[in-house]
Amino acid sequence: MEVTNVSEYQAIAKEKLPKMVYDYYASGAEDQWTLHENRQAFSRILFRPRILIDVSRIDMTTTVLGFKISMPIMIAPTAMQKMAHPEGEYATARAASAAGTIMTLSSWATSSVEEVASTGPGIRFFQLYVYKDRNVVAQLVRRAERAGFKAIALTVDTPRLGRREADIKNRFTLPPYLTLKNFEGLDLGKVDEANDSGLASYVASQIDQSLSWKVVRAAQGRVPVFLDGGVRRGTDVFKALALGASGIFIGRPVVFSLAAEGEAGVRKVLQMLRDEFELTMALSGCTTLNQITRSHIVTENDLIRPAARL
């Protein structure tokens, strides 16, 4: 079957992956309301097309933290990618580099920062939780820096992991032939590193639950806004930018395409989103990203009219 859009990879991945692995990638917490709403929210945003504008040349390039990339579409941190494909994060890193965009490596990856760096050049960020043991945090940051990673993507919205009922029913554990590679060789204190499932459980239990808004004071509003979640079409990318985002990150489309076709699948996902985004820009009369504004879309709030006075 020829894949013509990003969402088709999910069905292929469901057929190819063990149920425990597919459910880990596909499911959300409890009733999965947020998971579904992430998609539905995009569907409620409409366009205001612009015609008779010269769109023969469209420039999608942008900069993120000073690094120039080919498009505002980047790869989000997604854990344990070797469950999807034997090359896992290696394949994703190569695909991102070929597309001229950023890959963010999960700290819970099944390939280490050093191994990903060995795949060749590329702009890469490293995702990090804040652990109770700041020595572990410091060791991870130093390793990422030595491996050439350009920035830290700090996850702050997970004081505890969500209650994912599919994982509970499946009794999810990391397959015995895989491990969280970034934690190998670290000084972790009292943990049985020979037991991979024990290591994963230990790492999850060590997330610092005391973080508060005091971690953002130094930013003073100068940090760009990015969207991560629910993007499946180039039209979604345009909508996010029109609402003020500087760029978007994709996660599930990466692991589903990785499971289906390896590196070629990830490359195709990035290319399809790029092509759809370029088409949306053309139909909206935009030739550069800074021309995409709130005026190009219509939201539910725009459609609400005050009740007539009687």
Does 71 score more than 90 pLDDT? yes
- What confidence tier does 190 reach under pLDDT thresholds 50, 70, 90? low
- Give residue 306's pLDDT: 55
Picking from 68-77, 123-132, 200-209, 237-246, which range would have the lowest pLDDT averaged per residue? 200-209
Report percent pLDDT > 70 for the chain: 88
The average pLDDT across 77-101 equals: 97
Say if 230 falls within a structural domain: yes
Does 72 score more than 90 pLDDT? yes
Token pair of 135 as six digits: 């020595």
Q: How far is CA 149 from CA 114, 146, 166, 228, in A?
A: 10, 7, 33, 20
Which of these, 128, 66, 61, 122, lies nearest to 92 by C-alpha position? 122
Token pair of 62 as six digits: 């942008």
Does 157 score more than 60 pLDDT? yes
- Give residue 300's pLDDT: 81
State the DSSP H helix or E strand holding residue 26, giving kind and residue range, or none if neither. Answer: helix 19-26
Q: What are phi and psi of 29, to 5 degrees?
A: -85, 145
Domain CATH number, residue 136: 3.20.20.70
The average pLDDT across 90-112 equals: 97
Other C-beta atoms closer than 10 Å to the C-beta of 237 total: 29
Give the mean pLDDT of the chain.
88
The average pLDDT across 17-40 equals: 91
Say if 310 falls within a structural domain: no
d(CA 140, CA 126): 9
Token pair of 141 as six digits: 């940051």
280-291 pLDDT tens trace: 999 999 999 999
**Better-predicted residue by pLDDT, 101 or 300:** 101
d(CA 63, CA 72): 8
Does 239 score more than 60 pLDDT? yes
**Better-predicted residue by pLDDT, 22 or 163:** 22
The average pLDDT across 173-185 equals: 87
**Better-predicted residue by pLDDT, 32 or 57:** 57
Interacting residues of 275 by C-beta distance below 8 A, sequence separation 6+: 234
- What confidence tier does 65 reach under pLDDT thresholds 50, 70, 90? very high
Say if 307 falls within a structural domain: no
Q: Please state at what angle helix 234-242 crosses helix 33-43, rounded to 10 degrees.
A: 80
- Give residue 143's pLDDT: 95
Cα 112 from chain centre: 18
CB–CB of 139/113 below 8 Å?
A: no
Domain hosting residue 136, numbered range: 8-300
CB–CB of 45/280 below 8 Å?
A: no
**Better-predicted residue by pLDDT, 8 or 201:** 8
Which of these, 4, 5, 14, 1, lies nearest to 255 by C-alpha position? 14
- Give residue 173's pLDDT: 86
**Better-predicted residue by pLDDT, 17 or 300:** 17
**Better-predicted residue by pLDDT, 215 or 74:** 74
Say if 222 falls within a structural domain: yes
Does 308 score more than 50 pLDDT? no
Cα 20 from chain centre: 21
- Give residue 197's pLDDT: 43
Say if 1 falls within a structural domain: no
Token pair of 140 as six digits: 């991870």
Say if 282 falls within a structural domain: yes
Strand partners, 250: 75
- What confidence tier does 211 reach under pLDDT thresholds 50, 70, 90? low
d(CA 218, CA 224): 14
d(CA 207, CA 37): 27
How many structural domains compose the chain? 1
Token pair of 154 as six digits: 């700090």
CB–CB of 35/302 below 8 Å?
A: no
Say if 250 falls within a structural domain: yes
d(CA 194, CA 79): 20
